[in-house]
Amino acid sequence: MSNSRLIFTEGNLREMNLSNMNFVDARLEKAHLEGTNLIGKNLTRAYLEGAHLEGAHLEGATLTDAYLLNADLTGADLTRANLTRANLYNATLTRATLIGTDLTGATLTGATLIGATLTGVTLTGATLTGAVLRGVDLRGVNLDGVNLAVADLRGVNLDGVTLSNIQRQQIMSRLHRPKRKMRQSKTYLYIL
């Protein structure tokens, strides 16, 4: 199968030997790839909408221009993976490892990255509008030019982060906005 395009939607690939598979332009919509070994694989332009990649090993994989809309990458290891221009709209990356991952020009609008590790990640030109980044360690990451509009940044470590002056003002005003009491309730709401 090394020269053919893989089309396998809504199927289970967890137990299959994927070592000789060609994943360039693969169509794996809603496929079950939980815990699958895809280390170093080329998934350029792969269509993985709604794919189940929980705990998948994608270290050093190439996912340039991949389509991962609504994909579940909970606990996946994407260390040094290339996700340049990947579309991760509404993807779940909770507790995912993205050490040294290239997300240049990637779309992470509405993505959930709670507790993800983003050490040394490249986010040049990335869009994280409405992304949930609660508790993420962004120490030393260059966020200059990254779109963080309405992103949930509660508990984010921003030590040593590079931001434009406008980003810094917007982020700091959201992080330090006073709590407002909800009417007839003792519950406090954080306005972001």
> Is residue 53 scored above 80 in pLDDT?
yes
CA 25 to chain centre: 20
Q: According to the model, what pLDDT value does residue 187 have? A: 31
> Is residue 184 scored above 50 in pLDDT?
no
**Shortest CA distance to 161 belongs to which of 114, 125, 102, 118?**
118
Report the C-alpha gap between 161 and 108 in whole angstroms: 19
pLDDT above 70 covers a percentage of the chain that reads 80
Lowest pLDDT segment from 63-67, 137-141, 148-152, 173-177: 173-177
pLDDT tier at 140, thresholds 50, 70, 90: confident
Q: According to the model, what pLDDT value does residue 160 have? A: 84
> Is residue 145 scored above 90 in pLDDT?
no
Q: According to the model, what pLDDT value does residue 88 have? A: 98
Residue length of the chain: 192
DSSP-derived secondary structure letter, 152: B
Numbers of helices and strands, H then E, in the chain: 1, 2
Is this prediction's pTM over 0.85?
no
Q: Which residue has the higher pLDDT, 3 or 42?
A: 42
Report the C-alpha gap between 70 and 42 in whole angstroms: 20
Report the C-alpha gap between 180 and 188 in whole angstroms: 6
**Shortest CA distance to 108 belongs to which of 80, 140, 150, 139?**
150
Q: According to the model, what pLDDT value does residue 17 have? A: 63
Q: What is the CATH number of domain 1-28+43-192?
A: 2.160.20.80
Q: Which residue has the higher pLDDT, 12 or 113?
A: 113
DSSP-derived secondary structure letter, 181: E
Q: Which helix (H) or strand (E) holds 38?
A: none
Report the C-alpha gap between 150 and 164 in whole angstroms: 16
